[in-house]
Protein backbone atom coordinates (compact mmCIF):
# COMPACT_ATOMS: atom_id res chain seq x y z
CA UNK A 1 0.00 0.00 0.00
CA UNK A 2 1.45 3.42 -0.93
CA UNK A 3 2.22 5.90 1.83
CA UNK A 4 0.26 8.86 0.57
CA UNK A 5 -2.28 11.53 1.40
CA UNK A 6 -5.29 10.93 -0.84
CA UNK A 7 -8.12 13.38 -0.28
CA UNK A 8 -11.23 11.22 0.21
CA UNK A 9 -13.52 14.10 -0.77
CA UNK A 10 -12.32 13.92 -4.39
CA UNK A 11 -9.80 11.05 -4.71
CA UNK A 12 -6.89 13.40 -5.43
CA UNK A 13 -3.41 12.32 -4.33
CA UNK A 14 -1.89 15.29 -2.51
CA UNK A 15 1.45 13.96 -1.25
CA UNK A 16 3.42 10.73 -1.44
CA UNK A 17 6.27 9.45 0.69
CA UNK A 18 8.89 6.76 0.33
CA UNK A 19 8.88 4.05 2.95
CA UNK A 20 11.91 3.95 5.24
CA UNK A 21 14.64 1.55 4.23
CA UNK A 22 16.34 -0.99 6.48
CA UNK A 23 19.25 1.34 7.27
CA UNK A 24 17.00 4.18 8.42
CA UNK A 25 14.82 1.84 10.48
CA UNK A 26 17.95 0.58 12.21
CA UNK A 27 19.10 4.13 12.90
CA UNK A 28 15.78 5.00 14.50
CA UNK A 29 15.68 1.87 16.63
CA UNK A 30 19.19 2.60 17.85
CA UNK A 31 18.18 6.19 18.64
CA UNK A 32 15.16 4.99 20.60
CA UNK A 33 17.25 2.64 22.71
CA UNK A 34 19.96 5.24 23.36
CA UNK A 35 17.47 7.94 24.28
CA UNK A 36 15.60 5.65 26.65
CA UNK A 37 18.73 5.05 28.73
CA UNK A 38 18.82 8.71 29.72
CA UNK A 39 15.18 9.77 29.35
CA UNK A 40 14.06 7.12 31.83
CA UNK A 41 15.99 8.94 34.56
CA UNK A 42 14.39 12.35 33.98
CA UNK A 43 12.13 13.68 36.69
CA UNK A 44 8.36 13.80 36.48
CA UNK A 45 8.63 17.57 36.71
CA UNK A 46 10.83 17.71 33.60
CA UNK A 47 8.58 15.34 31.66
CA UNK A 48 5.56 17.41 32.69
CA UNK A 49 7.24 20.61 31.52
CA UNK A 50 7.85 19.08 28.10
CA UNK A 51 4.34 17.64 27.87
CA UNK A 52 2.75 20.98 28.79
CA UNK A 53 4.84 22.60 26.07
CA UNK A 54 3.62 20.03 23.53
CA UNK A 55 0.01 20.78 24.55
CA UNK A 56 0.56 24.52 24.12
CA UNK A 57 2.05 24.01 20.66
CA UNK A 58 -0.86 21.79 19.68
CA UNK A 59 -3.29 24.50 20.75
CA UNK A 60 -1.49 26.92 18.44
CA UNK A 61 -1.67 24.41 15.58
CA UNK A 62 -5.40 23.52 15.89
CA UNK A 63 -6.51 25.05 12.61
CA UNK A 64 -3.60 23.74 10.55
CA UNK A 65 -3.54 20.19 11.88
CA UNK A 66 -7.33 20.09 11.71
CA UNK A 67 -7.22 20.76 7.97
CA UNK A 68 -4.50 18.15 7.53
CA UNK A 69 -6.58 15.47 9.25
CA UNK A 70 -9.63 16.39 7.20
CA UNK A 71 -7.81 16.21 3.88
CA UNK A 72 -6.17 12.92 4.84
CA UNK A 73 -9.17 10.96 6.15
CA UNK A 74 -12.28 13.04 5.58
CA UNK A 75 -13.68 13.92 8.99
CA UNK A 76 -15.57 17.26 9.19
CA UNK A 77 -13.07 19.98 10.00
CA UNK A 78 -14.93 21.10 13.14
CA UNK A 79 -14.57 17.56 14.49
CA UNK A 80 -10.89 17.54 13.51
CA UNK A 81 -10.21 20.69 15.52
CA UNK A 82 -12.11 19.23 18.47
CA UNK A 83 -9.96 16.08 18.25
CA UNK A 84 -6.78 18.15 18.41
CA UNK A 85 -8.10 20.12 21.40
CA UNK A 86 -8.94 16.85 23.16
CA UNK A 87 -5.38 15.68 22.61
CA UNK A 88 -3.99 18.82 24.25
CA UNK A 89 -6.33 18.22 27.19
CA UNK A 90 -5.06 14.65 27.60
CA UNK A 91 -1.45 15.82 27.47
CA UNK A 92 -2.09 18.27 30.27
CA UNK A 93 -3.99 15.70 32.31
CA UNK A 94 -1.12 13.22 32.22
CA UNK A 95 1.45 15.96 32.81
CA UNK A 96 -0.43 16.92 35.97
CA UNK A 97 -1.27 13.43 37.27
CA UNK A 98 1.45 11.00 36.16
CA UNK A 99 3.62 11.38 39.24
CA UNK A 100 0.73 10.55 41.57
CA UNK A 101 -0.50 7.70 39.35
CA UNK A 102 2.95 6.09 39.41
CA UNK A 103 3.84 6.84 43.02
CA UNK A 104 5.42 4.05 45.07
CA UNK A 105 2.82 1.83 46.73
CA UNK A 106 3.91 0.70 50.20
CA UNK A 107 2.73 -2.63 51.51
CA UNK A 108 0.87 -2.75 54.81
CA UNK A 109 3.41 -2.72 57.68
CA UNK A 110 2.00 -5.98 59.04
CA UNK A 111 2.46 -7.72 55.68
CA UNK A 112 6.00 -6.37 55.37
CA UNK A 113 6.87 -7.57 58.88
CA UNK A 114 5.32 -10.97 58.14
CA UNK A 115 7.76 -11.34 55.23
CA UNK A 116 10.72 -10.44 57.45
CA UNK A 117 11.10 -6.96 55.94
CA UNK A 118 11.28 -3.53 57.49
CA UNK A 119 9.32 -2.19 54.53
CA UNK A 120 8.13 -3.30 51.11
CA UNK A 121 6.87 -1.24 48.21
CA UNK A 122 5.81 -1.59 44.60
CA UNK A 123 7.49 0.77 42.14
CA UNK A 124 6.46 1.48 38.53
CA UNK A 125 9.44 1.58 36.18
CA UNK A 126 9.33 2.25 32.41
CA UNK A 127 9.83 -0.66 30.01
CA UNK A 128 11.67 1.00 27.13
CA UNK A 129 10.80 1.65 23.48
CA UNK A 130 7.13 0.86 22.79
CA UNK A 131 5.81 0.32 19.26
CA UNK A 132 2.41 1.87 18.55
CA UNK A 133 0.51 0.62 15.49
CA UNK A 134 -2.25 3.14 15.00
CA UNK A 135 -5.32 3.64 12.74
CA UNK A 136 -6.49 6.50 10.57
CA UNK A 137 -9.93 7.21 12.00
CA UNK A 138 -8.76 9.41 14.90
CA UNK A 139 -5.26 10.00 13.58
CA UNK A 140 -4.21 12.37 16.35
CA UNK A 141 -6.19 11.15 19.36
CA UNK A 142 -5.41 7.44 18.99
CA UNK A 143 -1.70 8.25 19.09
CA UNK A 144 -1.76 10.84 21.86
CA UNK A 145 -3.76 8.65 24.21
CA UNK A 146 -0.82 6.23 23.99
CA UNK A 147 2.00 8.73 23.73
CA UNK A 148 1.10 11.06 26.60
CA UNK A 149 1.05 8.36 29.31
CA UNK A 150 3.93 6.39 27.77
CA UNK A 151 6.25 9.41 27.67
CA UNK A 152 5.18 10.59 31.13
CA UNK A 153 6.03 7.11 32.46
CA UNK A 154 9.56 7.39 31.03
CA UNK A 155 9.11 5.19 27.98
CA UNK A 156 9.93 6.24 24.42
CA UNK A 157 7.61 5.79 21.45
CA UNK A 158 7.86 4.40 17.94
CA UNK A 159 4.81 5.15 15.79
CA UNK A 160 3.75 3.05 12.82
CA UNK A 161 0.71 5.01 11.69
CA UNK A 162 -1.86 4.06 9.06
CA UNK A 163 -0.45 4.56 5.58
CA UNK A 164 -3.16 7.02 4.52
CA UNK A 165 -2.35 9.61 7.23
CA UNK A 166 1.41 10.21 6.77
CA UNK A 167 1.24 13.98 7.27
CA UNK A 168 -0.45 13.57 10.65
CA UNK A 169 2.12 10.95 11.60
CA UNK A 170 5.03 13.24 10.73
CA UNK A 171 3.34 16.15 12.49
CA UNK A 172 3.28 14.18 15.75
CA UNK A 173 7.01 13.46 15.61
CA UNK A 174 7.67 17.11 14.90
CA UNK A 175 5.34 18.26 17.69
CA UNK A 176 7.23 16.36 20.37
CA UNK A 177 10.56 17.48 18.93
CA UNK A 178 9.48 21.15 18.97
CA UNK A 179 8.30 20.74 22.55
CA UNK A 180 11.85 19.83 23.56
CA UNK A 181 11.61 16.08 24.07
CA UNK A 182 15.03 14.50 23.42
CA UNK A 183 15.81 13.35 19.88
CA UNK A 184 14.65 9.75 19.59
CA UNK A 185 12.01 10.08 22.31
CA UNK A 186 9.11 9.87 19.87
CA UNK A 187 9.72 8.79 16.27
CA UNK A 188 7.43 8.13 13.32
CA UNK A 189 8.28 5.12 11.19
CA UNK A 190 6.94 5.56 7.67
CA UNK A 191 6.81 1.86 6.88
CA UNK A 192 4.32 -0.52 5.34
CA UNK A 193 2.50 -3.20 7.30
CA UNK A 194 4.95 -5.81 6.06
CA UNK A 195 7.79 -4.18 7.98
CA UNK A 196 6.00 -4.20 11.34
CA UNK A 197 6.98 -7.74 12.28
CA UNK A 198 10.69 -7.02 11.96
CA UNK A 199 10.43 -3.94 14.17
CA UNK A 200 8.33 -5.77 16.76
CA UNK A 201 10.76 -8.70 16.90
CA UNK A 202 13.72 -6.41 17.45
CA UNK A 203 14.93 -6.94 21.06
CA UNK A 204 15.19 -3.19 21.62
CA UNK A 205 11.41 -2.89 21.29
CA UNK A 206 9.92 -3.97 24.61
CA UNK A 207 6.16 -3.84 24.02
CA UNK A 208 3.46 -2.87 21.54
CA UNK A 209 0.05 -1.28 21.46
CA UNK A 210 -2.36 -1.51 18.55
CA UNK A 211 -5.65 0.12 17.75
CA UNK A 212 -7.20 -1.21 14.58
CA UNK A 213 -8.88 -4.17 12.96
CA UNK A 214 -9.19 -7.63 14.42
CA UNK A 215 -6.88 -9.18 11.77
CA UNK A 216 -4.21 -6.56 12.50
CA UNK A 217 -4.57 -7.21 16.22
CA UNK A 218 -4.20 -10.94 15.74
CA UNK A 219 -1.06 -10.46 13.67
CA UNK A 220 0.63 -8.15 16.17
CA UNK A 221 -0.43 -10.22 19.19
CA UNK A 222 0.88 -13.39 17.53
CA UNK A 223 4.32 -11.93 16.89
CA UNK A 224 4.49 -10.29 20.32
CA UNK A 225 3.43 -13.56 21.96
CA UNK A 226 6.16 -15.42 20.12
CA UNK A 227 8.65 -12.84 21.42
CA UNK A 228 7.04 -12.77 24.92
CA UNK A 229 6.32 -9.05 24.76
CA UNK A 230 3.48 -7.14 26.39
CA UNK A 231 0.67 -5.88 24.15
CA UNK A 232 -2.45 -3.77 24.54
CA UNK A 233 -5.09 -4.18 21.83
CA UNK A 234 -8.11 -2.02 21.07
CA UNK A 235 -9.87 -3.60 18.12
CA UNK A 236 -13.31 -3.36 16.57
CA UNK A 237 -16.63 -2.62 18.16
CA UNK A 238 -20.30 -3.06 17.42
CA UNK A 239 -21.67 -1.22 20.41
CA UNK A 240 -25.30 -1.62 21.48
CA UNK A 241 -27.50 1.39 22.21
CA UNK A 242 -30.42 0.18 24.30
CA UNK A 243 -33.56 2.26 24.86
CA UNK A 244 -36.09 1.17 27.48
CA UNK A 245 -39.65 2.47 28.05
CA UNK A 246 -38.74 4.75 30.96
CA UNK A 247 -36.17 6.65 28.89
CA UNK A 248 -36.47 10.15 27.54
CA UNK A 249 -37.08 8.82 24.04
CA UNK A 250 -36.79 12.14 22.25
CA UNK A 251 -33.40 12.87 23.82
CA UNK A 252 -32.25 9.28 23.29
CA UNK A 253 -33.07 9.55 19.58
CA UNK A 254 -31.31 12.90 19.24
CA UNK A 255 -28.14 11.66 20.94
CA UNK A 256 -28.34 8.43 18.93
CA UNK A 257 -27.75 10.38 15.72
CA UNK A 258 -24.50 11.83 17.08
CA UNK A 259 -23.51 8.48 18.59
CA UNK A 260 -23.81 6.78 15.20
CA UNK A 261 -22.69 9.56 12.85
CA UNK A 262 -19.66 10.98 14.69
CA UNK A 263 -16.48 10.86 12.61
CA UNK A 264 -18.56 9.92 9.55
CA UNK A 265 -19.59 6.77 11.42
CA UNK A 266 -16.00 5.51 11.43
CA UNK A 267 -15.44 4.98 15.13
CA UNK A 268 -14.90 1.76 17.06
CA UNK A 269 -16.90 3.14 20.00
CA UNK A 270 -19.73 4.56 17.91
CA UNK A 271 -23.12 3.08 18.71
CA UNK A 272 -23.98 0.78 15.83
CA UNK A 273 -26.82 -1.52 16.94
CA UNK A 274 -29.89 0.28 18.29
CA UNK A 275 -31.97 -2.04 20.45
CA UNK A 276 -35.29 -0.47 21.38
CA UNK A 277 -38.07 -1.80 23.59
CA UNK A 278 -41.25 -2.55 21.64
CA UNK A 279 -43.26 -0.04 23.69
CA UNK A 280 -41.20 2.90 22.40
CA UNK A 281 -39.82 1.42 19.17
CA UNK A 282 -42.00 3.31 16.72
CA UNK A 283 -41.48 6.69 18.39
CA UNK A 284 -37.72 6.18 18.55
CA UNK A 285 -37.43 4.86 14.99
CA UNK A 286 -39.31 7.80 13.53
CA UNK A 287 -37.20 10.41 15.34
CA UNK A 288 -33.91 8.58 14.77
CA UNK A 289 -34.43 8.07 11.03
CA UNK A 290 -35.51 11.70 10.65
CA UNK A 291 -32.38 12.87 12.46
CA UNK A 292 -30.09 10.71 10.35
CA UNK A 293 -31.83 11.85 7.17
CA UNK A 294 -31.39 15.51 8.14
CA UNK A 295 -27.60 15.33 8.53
CA UNK A 296 -25.79 17.55 6.07
CA UNK A 297 -23.49 15.57 3.79
CA UNK A 298 -20.87 17.75 2.16
CA UNK A 299 -17.32 18.98 1.78
CA UNK A 300 -15.63 18.18 5.10
CA UNK A 301 -13.71 21.46 4.98
CA UNK A 302 -16.97 23.40 5.19
CA UNK A 303 -17.90 24.41 8.73
CA UNK A 304 -21.52 23.23 8.57
CA UNK A 305 -20.81 19.77 7.14
CA UNK A 306 -21.90 16.94 9.46
CA UNK A 307 -21.03 13.92 7.29
CA UNK A 308 -17.97 13.84 5.06
CA UNK A 309 -16.64 11.05 2.85
CA UNK A 310 -15.47 7.69 4.06
CA UNK A 311 -11.71 7.50 4.36
CA UNK A 312 -11.08 5.11 1.45
CA UNK A 313 -12.84 3.81 -1.62
CA UNK A 314 -12.45 0.27 -0.30
CA UNK A 315 -14.05 1.29 2.99
CA UNK A 316 -17.12 2.50 1.15
CA UNK A 317 -17.25 -0.67 -0.94
CA UNK A 318 -17.10 -2.81 2.22
CA UNK A 319 -19.95 -0.82 3.76
CA UNK A 320 -22.06 -1.11 0.62
CA UNK A 321 -21.58 -4.89 0.63
CA UNK A 322 -22.95 -5.14 4.17
CA UNK A 323 -25.97 -2.97 3.37
CA UNK A 324 -26.71 -4.74 0.08
CA UNK A 325 -26.47 -8.14 1.77
CA UNK A 326 -28.92 -7.06 4.48
CA UNK A 327 -31.41 -5.53 2.04
CA UNK A 328 -31.19 -8.59 -0.18
CA UNK A 329 -32.13 -10.75 2.80
CA UNK A 330 -35.12 -8.67 3.83
CA UNK A 331 -33.89 -5.64 5.78
CA UNK A 332 -36.01 -2.49 5.52
CA UNK A 333 -34.31 0.79 4.65
CA UNK A 334 -35.73 3.66 6.74
CA UNK A 335 -33.35 6.18 5.17
CA UNK A 336 -30.22 6.23 3.02
CA UNK A 337 -28.88 2.95 1.69
CA UNK A 338 -27.11 4.53 -1.27
CA UNK A 339 -24.42 6.91 -2.47
CA UNK A 340 -25.64 10.50 -2.34
CA UNK A 341 -25.74 12.45 -5.59
CA UNK A 342 -23.45 15.30 -6.53
CA UNK A 343 -20.09 14.39 -5.02
CA UNK A 344 -18.06 13.39 -8.05
CA UNK A 345 -15.04 11.30 -7.16
CA UNK A 346 -15.53 11.51 -3.38
CA UNK A 347 -16.15 8.39 -1.29
CA UNK A 348 -19.47 9.42 0.24
CA UNK A 349 -22.26 7.25 1.63
CA UNK A 350 -25.65 8.51 2.81
CA UNK A 351 -26.59 8.23 6.51
CA UNK A 352 -28.57 5.00 6.67
CA UNK A 353 -30.93 3.25 9.08
CA UNK A 354 -31.88 -0.40 8.54
CA UNK A 355 -34.42 -2.42 10.46
CA UNK A 356 -35.89 -5.95 10.31
CA UNK A 357 -32.37 -7.31 10.86
CA UNK A 358 -31.98 -11.09 11.17
CA UNK A 359 -29.04 -13.32 12.17
CA UNK A 360 -28.77 -14.46 8.54
CA UNK A 361 -27.45 -11.04 7.55
CA UNK A 362 -23.72 -10.30 7.71
CA UNK A 363 -24.44 -6.92 9.27
CA UNK A 364 -25.85 -8.69 12.35
CA UNK A 365 -22.35 -9.87 13.32
CA UNK A 366 -19.91 -7.68 11.37
CA UNK A 367 -18.88 -4.14 12.29
CA UNK A 368 -20.25 -1.32 10.13
CA UNK A 369 -17.57 1.34 9.68
CA UNK A 370 -19.57 4.20 8.26
CA UNK A 371 -22.86 6.07 8.87
CA UNK A 372 -25.07 2.97 8.88
CA UNK A 373 -27.24 1.98 11.86
CA UNK A 374 -29.13 -1.25 12.50
CA UNK A 375 -32.37 -1.02 14.47
CA UNK A 376 -33.78 -3.90 16.54
CA UNK A 377 -37.08 -4.32 18.39
CA UNK A 378 -36.81 -5.98 21.84
CA UNK A 379 -39.81 -7.44 23.65
CA UNK A 380 -38.34 -6.86 27.10
CA UNK A 381 -35.25 -6.52 29.27
CA UNK A 382 -34.05 -10.08 28.82
CA UNK A 383 -34.23 -9.88 25.04
CA UNK A 384 -32.51 -6.48 25.06
CA UNK A 385 -29.57 -7.90 27.04
CA UNK A 386 -29.39 -10.96 24.80
CA UNK A 387 -29.38 -8.86 21.62
CA UNK A 388 -26.78 -6.49 23.05
CA UNK A 389 -24.46 -9.40 23.80
CA UNK A 390 -25.08 -11.20 20.50
CA UNK A 391 -21.87 -9.92 18.92
CA UNK A 392 -18.25 -11.04 18.86
CA UNK A 393 -17.25 -7.56 20.08
CA UNK A 394 -17.39 -6.01 23.53
CA UNK A 395 -15.97 -2.50 23.45
CA UNK A 396 -18.61 -0.23 25.00
CA UNK A 397 -22.37 0.10 25.38
CA UNK A 398 -25.10 2.68 25.87
CA UNK A 399 -28.22 2.25 27.99
CA UNK A 400 -31.20 4.60 28.24
CA UNK A 401 -33.47 4.00 31.23
CA UNK A 402 -34.62 5.76 34.40
CA UNK A 403 -35.14 2.44 36.20
CA UNK A 404 -32.25 1.85 38.62
CA UNK A 405 -32.93 -1.88 38.74
CA UNK A 406 -32.56 -2.02 34.96
CA UNK A 407 -29.34 -0.01 35.17
CA UNK A 408 -27.87 -2.51 37.62
CA UNK A 409 -28.94 -5.41 35.39
CA UNK A 410 -27.24 -3.88 32.36
CA UNK A 411 -24.06 -3.04 34.28
CA UNK A 412 -23.94 -6.60 35.59
CA UNK A 413 -24.72 -8.44 32.37
CA UNK A 414 -23.54 -6.43 29.36
CA UNK A 415 -20.35 -7.86 27.90
CA UNK A 416 -18.47 -4.64 27.31
CA UNK A 417 -15.62 -2.54 28.63
CA UNK A 418 -17.95 0.36 29.37
CA UNK A 419 -21.61 1.01 30.17
CA UNK A 420 -22.79 4.58 29.51
CA UNK A 421 -26.17 5.31 31.09
CA UNK A 422 -28.41 7.98 29.52
CA UNK A 423 -25.60 9.27 27.32
CA UNK A 424 -23.29 8.25 24.51
CA UNK A 425 -19.92 6.56 24.84
CA UNK A 426 -17.03 8.99 25.06
CA UNK A 427 -13.40 8.73 26.15
CA UNK A 428 -11.76 10.94 28.77
CA UNK A 429 -8.15 10.83 29.98
CA UNK A 430 -9.26 10.11 33.57
CA UNK A 431 -11.37 7.03 32.75
CA UNK A 432 -10.11 3.59 31.65
CA UNK A 433 -10.87 2.65 28.05
CA UNK A 434 -10.83 -0.78 26.43
CA UNK A 435 -12.94 -3.82 25.75
CA UNK A 436 -13.39 -7.56 25.99
CA UNK A 437 -14.06 -10.47 23.64
CA UNK A 438 -12.76 -9.63 20.14
CA UNK A 439 -12.55 -5.95 20.96
CA UNK A 440 -9.16 -6.61 22.54
CA UNK A 441 -7.57 -6.50 25.97
CA UNK A 442 -5.72 -4.15 28.26
CA UNK A 443 -6.70 -0.58 29.02
CA UNK A 444 -5.78 2.86 27.78
CA UNK A 445 -6.17 6.18 29.60
CA UNK A 446 -6.47 6.79 33.36
CA UNK A 447 -4.05 5.25 35.84
CA UNK A 448 -4.73 1.83 34.33
CA UNK A 449 -3.44 3.00 30.96
CA UNK A 450 -0.21 4.58 32.17
CA UNK A 451 0.66 1.44 34.15
CA UNK A 452 0.21 -0.93 31.19
CA UNK A 453 3.75 -0.25 29.97
CA UNK A 454 5.50 -0.23 33.32
CA UNK A 455 7.55 -2.88 35.07
CA UNK A 456 5.79 -3.29 38.42
CA UNK A 457 8.77 -3.90 40.65
CA UNK A 458 8.64 -5.25 44.21
CA UNK A 459 11.24 -3.51 46.42
CA UNK A 460 11.93 -5.40 49.67
CA UNK A 461 14.03 -4.02 52.54
CA UNK A 462 15.37 -6.36 55.18
CA UNK A 463 14.65 -5.73 58.85
Instruction: Please provide the DSSP assignment of 350-365 as one string.
Output: --EEEES--TTSGGGT
- Minimal CA–CA distance to 439: which of 276, 240, 258, 226? 240
Q: pLDDT at position 2, please?
A: 80
Kindly list the distances between the CA atom of residue 44 and the CA atoms of 149, 154, 165, 181, 444, in Å, as whole numbers in the listed order: 12, 9, 31, 13, 20
Q: pLDDT at position 353, please?
A: 98
Catalogue the long-range contacts made by 411-418 (C-beta closer than 8 Å, 24 or more residues apart): 413/385, 413/389, 414/240, 414/385, 414/388, 414/389, 415/388, 415/389, 416/239, 416/240, 417/443
Supply the mean pLDDT for the chain.
97
What band does 342 get if pLDDT is binned at 50, 70 and 90?
confident
Residues of the chain with pLDDT > 70: what percent? 100
* Stretch 315-333: mean pLDDT: 98
Q: pLDDT at position 1, please?
A: 65
Q: pLDDT at position 344, please?
A: 80
- Whether the pLDDT of residue 417 is over 90: the answer is yes
What's the whole-model pTM score?
Answer: 0.97
* Stretch 440-453: mean pLDDT: 98
* Stretch 290-298: mean pLDDT: 98
Sort strands 230-234 and 207-211 into parallel, antiparallel or unpaired: parallel
Q: pLDDT at position 63, please?
A: 98
Question: What one-character-per-residue DSSP string does 254-290 give?
Answer: HHHHHHHHGGGG--TTSEEEEEEETTTHHHHHHHHHH
The whole-angstrom distance between residue 78's C-alpha and the CA centroid of its chain comes to 19
- Whether the pLDDT of residue 275 is over 90: the answer is yes
Kindly list the distances between the CA atom of residue 449 and the CA atoms of 39, 121, 223, 268, 384, in Å, as whole numbers in the listed order: 20, 21, 22, 18, 31
pLDDT in tens, 190-249: 999 999 999 999 999 999 999 999 999 999 999 999 999 999 999 999 999 999 999 999
Which residues are catalytically annotated?
234, 268
Sort strands 156-160 and 186-188 into parallel, antiparallel or unpaired: parallel
Alpha-carbon span 146 to 134, nearest angstrom: 10
Amino acid sequence: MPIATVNPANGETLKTYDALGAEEIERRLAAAEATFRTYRTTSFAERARLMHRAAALLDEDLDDIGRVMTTEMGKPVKQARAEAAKCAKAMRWYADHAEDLLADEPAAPADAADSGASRVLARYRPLGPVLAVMPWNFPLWQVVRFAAPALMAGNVGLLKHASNVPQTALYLEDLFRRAGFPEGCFQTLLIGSGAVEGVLRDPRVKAATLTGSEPAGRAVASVAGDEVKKTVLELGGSDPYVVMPSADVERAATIAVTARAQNNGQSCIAAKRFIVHADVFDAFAERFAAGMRALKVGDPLEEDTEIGPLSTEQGRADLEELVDDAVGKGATVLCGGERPDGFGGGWYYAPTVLTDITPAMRIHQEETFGPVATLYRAAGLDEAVALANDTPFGLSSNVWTRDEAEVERFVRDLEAGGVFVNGMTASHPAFPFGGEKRSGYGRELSGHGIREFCNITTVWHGA
